[in-house]
Amino acid sequence: TAHEISLWIEENIIPMHGALEVAIQTLLNIGSKSFTHLITVLERYGQIIAKLCPDQDHQVLLLDEVSLYWKNNTQMNAIAIDRMMGYRLVSNLAIVCWVFSPHNVEQFHISDRPWEILRNAINKTYNRISDLRKEILSLRKSVLLAEKAKEELEAAESRLEVVDGQPVQAEKPVRLKRLKGYAEKAKDELTALEESIEAKEALLARAVEESKALFVFLYKRFRSVLRERLPPMSMDADSDSSQFNGYSIGEQEQWCLCTLGYVKAFSRQYASEIWPHIDTLDSQVFHPLFQRA
């Protein structure tokens, strides 16, 4: 079992070899036969990985091991990391930190692998928020339907007519009985719906904060690597522009153009999620280099 393996690692592997490299490479080897094997390993032994990688630094080391194991299979590398994030074995911040490690930064203009993994991490974060919003909207619609059933019953019960000088129910008994059934069912569901909405809204607030932390961290990393490589800003914008258009593009310029292209692409694709945090980004991150680009 996973518990027995965890105890065995603590007793036999950690004292002699250090557990992370041995355990992760072993588990990845078990799951390497197919995508299904990989998912089974993550589901069955995920708690072992979580115990070995409790913080961001260890999660970055985990991503290094995954990348090393799948160095000749970009697709499985991306899938493994994506699934690990799905099972919350690695955080989106750890993925950003790993993508902007020196080795990966050097590949920004020659490989799509770091960008694919980064895009998957942002997509998963965005999709969590989107799914929660849809669930909350659906629950609120259910609440409205429950309240409508209650209002229809009250309206039907209050509708009277005079027969032989006496007020009696104007609504047909069959319909009134049906409305009472709907209202009783809605009453039972209403409390549960309101509790679900409250729980989902708490999860949404947490997810939005995680999204904010992700984008701030991401743009800080972009700023850091661009500061190191973009050419110095010229005071004469026209002269600088003509000089930029005139040179033959070398590797450094190609790296800059590629990286700036991804900055723009991410900014446009996730503008709706970035914009609520624009004040924070303006004050903490954005630099004239971004405005110039």
β strands within 112-192, DSSP E: 160-163, 166-169
Tens digit of each residue's pLDDT (9 = 90 or more) over 10-50: 655 555 455 677 788 888 888 888 889 999 989 988 888 88
Which of the following CATH numbers is that of domain 2-90: 3.40.220.10, 3.40.1260.10, 1.25.40.180, 3.40.190.10? 1.25.40.180
Measured CA to CA, the distance from residue 86 to residue 260 in angstroms comes to 28
The structure tokens 């446009």 sit at: 268
Q: Please give the pLDDT value at position 244.
A: 46
Tens digit of each residue's pLDDT (9 = 90 or more) over 103-144: 999 999 888 899 999 999 999 999 999 999 999 999 888 888
3-class SS at 236?
Answer: coil
pTM: 0.77
Tens digit of each residue's pLDDT (9 = 90 or more) over 232-254: 654 444 444 444 444 456 788 88
Domains in the chain: boundaries: 2-90, 123-292
Could you please report the per-residue DSSP string of 58-92?
HHHHHHHHHHHHTTT-HHHHHHHHHHHHHTTSS-H
